[in-house]
Structure 1
Amino acid sequence: MKFRIILILSVFILLACNKESKEEVKTTISKANETSGSIKSAFLKRIPSSESNLIFSNDITDNVATKENLFDYDYFFNGSGVGVGDINNDGLKDIFFAGNQVPNKLFLNKGNLTFEDISESANINVKKHWSSGVSFVDINNDGWLDIYVSQGGPRSIEERKNILLINQKDNTFKEEASTYGLDDHGISTQSAFFDYDKDGDLDCIVMNENDYYGTDPSTFYSILKDEEKLMENCSHLYRNDNGKFINITKQAGLLKPTFGLGLCVSDINNDDWLDIYIANDYYVPDAKYINNKNGTFTDAIKENTNQVSFYGMGVDIEDLNNDALQDIFVLDMA
């Protein structure tokens, strides 16, 4: 703001002053630019891994035998996720890196932007396969953050099961996804925890990709007329019933095919109830699930938008222009 004021004043002075004054004004503007530049240059500073000890690389290697390659698995190069949360309640944010082929890693924040790799001792790679998205959530409401990891990739149904790491309050974790009913075996990319029914506990949406990538639209939709196959290839909504998560995808109105690559939960229509937006890849339209306030959702993407993204990849929702209305920003590769 100071720079803008200086610049505006300078314009008026330039119109009404002599040559010497003009030189003074130029000097003032130059100094303002220098100050502005120094602020910008100091805004972010790169901390090398040699100082932070944050050492992680999501290295991937083609493997024809396991179908871990771009020809057999379209999302081979999509990358993995990262989560940030305070796992030991010391007021410092810790970091979890998900790996596709490489092990997941957990770094404990030691302060001053230095971290300790506690991946092995924390027991975070039990049942780990092709990991992707990460969510920190206090799932059992004990005041300690747990970690939910989405899994998928070109793996078997058993190996695709998501993992839930329950915090043991001593910098270690115990895998208990099946106990909680969250061992979803879709090709999961991300999840979100939110209280969609306002009963005071956290429910869960698991966003999935699809087994039938590479098929033409006609064949794709023909295959998914089979409700059992459709249930295996859609995103899943889980209701929290006293600590046990129940798959209510069909009852809630979310039984639709997905190539889910972007997920946001937000009160899109300002009615004080949380809605769901899923950005879908390929020829499947994005889904804008409006909360009906009765345990169900209605996909209002066609009614609420003039045009949707083709090959939706990522999504974020925020009030960009401060008009108290939520705006939706979708990334697209087309």
Structure 2
Amino acid sequence: MMKRVLVFVFTSWAVLHVRAQSFSEVTNLLDSPTVGVFAVGTSIIDVNSDGLLDLYRFQGTFLQQPDGSFLESSGDIGFKNEDGSTAEGSTVFGAIFGDYDNDGYVDAFFEDLTAGSRLFRNRGDGSFYQANQETGIEIFSALQGSVWADFDNDGLLDLFVGGDGDPSGLFLNNGDDTFENASANVGYSPFRNVYGVAAADFDNDGDIDIYLSSCSQFAAASRNMLFRNDGQAGFTDIAPSLGLDDDRGGWAVVWADVNNDGWLDLFVANQPVSGAGIESRPGFNRMYINDGAGGFTDMAP
């Protein structure tokens, strides 16, 4: 409980502090064109553990230099092949970073929409190599959403992947640099059409839950889901009982305590859906406020 209070106080102060600041565009610090670039999967993360935040986007990793500029370094760290082609994948739509082997260096997972998604392990010197085979995370389906989180409370990062045209999956970290495919044991592996994945302890019971946003041309295949964790990486979809099973074509989703009451709220960004032979939906966004008693109220206009 003490940790939760400390994080809440710091976060509140940080938000107020940012409001008092102004921002200036510094795109010129990047040594690469930014116009006409397929910039998806963007992350700000200390890739090489030098204490400086770096910038990743598909087909571009920019390491921050001591003078504040950024140097494109994909080839140096292993995200480009010797022939100059990208090593991350063919159509990367997202990238998540996390230290799954607890060695103090972030590793990378790239969500690919058309080919097998790839896991890259950090060697400890800021360079990476592909580690799908050695870890047992072999994924050949299309992905658009995934998340690192400790779902079974063993101190190790696990991986949830949201399938687009294929089933979703859960990989539990064994602690020996390998993962167990636990998808069949948690009841949601058949769920498809996932666009957004957000993991957080929304009910403050000490374990990580998962919300999935979905988008399809048919409403029945676009129903969002909220999986409550039983503390041992066993999950139950409770979205219908809480009114969170929206079917408006969900793309992005995020948990945040927007009203500073100590309970995580939920924002869902929806995509308007229309066209011949398609169930039209307006795509209005949702802002669900957590009442702290197990219920949510949509406060979006």
Instruction: Please give the TM-score of this superposition, normalised by the length of structure 1.
Output: 0.68
* Secondary structure of the structure 2 residue equivalent to 1:111: coil
Please give the per-residue CA displacement for 1:141-171, whole angstroms capped at 9, x wherever unaligned.
1111121111123xxxxxx111122222333
> What is the Cα-based RMSD across aligned positions, in Å?
2.2
- SS for the counterpart of 2:65 is strand
Identity of aligned residues (%): 23
Question: 1:259 — aligned with what?
Answer: 193
The question of whether the paired residues in 2 share the 8 Å contact of 1:52 and 1:113 is answered with no
Q: 1:137 aligned to 2:98?
A: yes
1:83 to 1:110, Cα distance in 2 relative to 1, 3 A:
same
Aligned to 1:186: 141
Structure-2 separation of matches of 1:40 and 1:270: 28
2:26 — aligned with what? 47
Question: How has the CA–CA distance of structure 1 residues 58 and 258 changed in structure 2, closer, same or farther, with 3 Å as cutoff?
Answer: farther
Q: Would the alpha carbon gap of residues 168 and 55 (structure 1) be closer, same or farther in structure 2, given more than 3 Å must change?
A: farther
The Cα of 1:88 is off from its aligned counterpart by: 2.1
For the 8 Å contact 2:100–2:158, the answer to whether it is kept is no
**What pairs up with 1:264-279 in 2 under 5 angstroms?**
264-279=198-213
Residue from 231, 235, 255 that aligns with 1:293: 231
Matched, 1:173 2:128: yes
Name which of 167, 171, 178 aligns with 1:234.
167
Q: CA separation of 1:306/1:164 partners in 2, compared to 1, >3 Å: closer, same or farther? A: closer
Match of 2:46 in 1: 86
Superposed, 1:154-173 pairs within 5 Å as 160-173=115-128
1:52-109: CA deviation from partner (whole Å, max 9, x where unpaired): 325456656xxxxxxxxxxxxxxxxxx62112211222210111111xxxxx211111
Q: Gapped runs of 5+ residues in structure 1? A: 1-38, 61-78, 99-103, 154-159, 211-232
1:281 aligns with 2:215: yes
Return the alpha-carbon distance in structure 2 between the equivalents of residues 249 and 151 of structure 1: 19
The runs of at least 4 consecutive aligned structure 1 residues that moved more than 3 Å come to 39-42, 54-60
CA distance in 2 between partners of 1:173 and 1:306 (Å): 39
| 2:267 alignment counterpart | 329
Is residue 84–residue 136 contact of structure 1 (8 Å, CA) maintained in 2?
no
Distance 1:319 1:92, change over 3 A: same
Shift of residue 253 of structure 1?
1.5
1:199 and 2:158 correspond: no
The one-letter amino acid of 1:135's match is I
Contact 1:280/1:286 (<8 A) preserved: yes
Check whether the contact 1:237–1:254 (CA below 8 A) recurs between aligned residues: no
The letter for the 2-side match of 1:144 is: Y
Structure 1's 292 and 144: CA in aligned 2 closer, same or farther, altered over 3 A? same
Tell me: CA distance 1:327–1:184, structure 2 relative to 1, closer, same or farther (3 Å). same
CA contact (8 A) 1:109 1:116 kept: yes
Shift of residue 259, structure 1, vs aligned partner: 1.2
Q: Is the CA contact (8 Å cut-off) linking 2:31 and 2:70 kept in structure 1?
A: yes
Correspondence for 2:15 = none
1:171 partner SS: coil
* Aligned pairs, number: 244
The answer to which structure has the higher helix fraction is 1
- Aligned 1:87-166 pairs, distance under 5 A: 87-98=47-58, 104-125=59-80, 126=87, 128-153=89-114, 160-166=115-121
- Structure with max Cα Rg: 1
Q: Partner letter of residue 94 of structure 1?
A: D
SS in 1 for 2:63: strand
